[in-house]
Amino acid sequence: MAATFAIKLDDFGSGPQAVEINGVEVGLFQVEEEIFALENSCPHAGLPLHEGVQDAYEVTCAAHGWCFDLRTGFRPEFSDGFPIPCFYTEVRGDEVWVDLDRRTNLPVRP
């Protein structure tokens, strides 16, 4: 699958967003010029991460406070385990495209 249109850049005006791409709910986060796309389900109890509180490269889940690094999908305080899948994003003009076939993180912290 190639990249799929996800959202307009202007839509980030109200903070993190969520879109469904081919049956996968994806959370989208903006840090200045960078866009991060993660599977939008907290591994603790499944709440949508885009409803959490974003602080630069981290998002804190609104339910019980687990924190995740948007660049790696890992909880910063743990050195192993399985990260939240992160996906390749690309900005084309004023649009954000996401490729679900291109994971940008590894299942284990390098």
**Does residue 45 touch ligand FES according to CB under 6 A?**
yes
Long-range contact set of residues 57-61: C-beta below 8 Å, sequence gap at least 24: 57/31, 59/16, 59/27, 59/29
46: its two tokens? 């499944």
Residue 26 CB, shortest distance to ligand FES, in Å, is: 17
Task: Please give the size of the binding site for ligand FES, defined by CB under 6 A.
Answer: 9
**Does residue 67 touch ligand FES according to CB under 6 A?**
no
Decide if 104 contacts 85 (C-beta within 8 A): no
Task: Choose the stretch contacting ligand FES; rule: CB under 6 A; options: 16-24, 28-36, 57-65, 91-99.
Answer: 57-65
Residues at the contact surface with ligand FES, assessed by CB under 6 A: 42, 44-45, 47, 61, 63-66
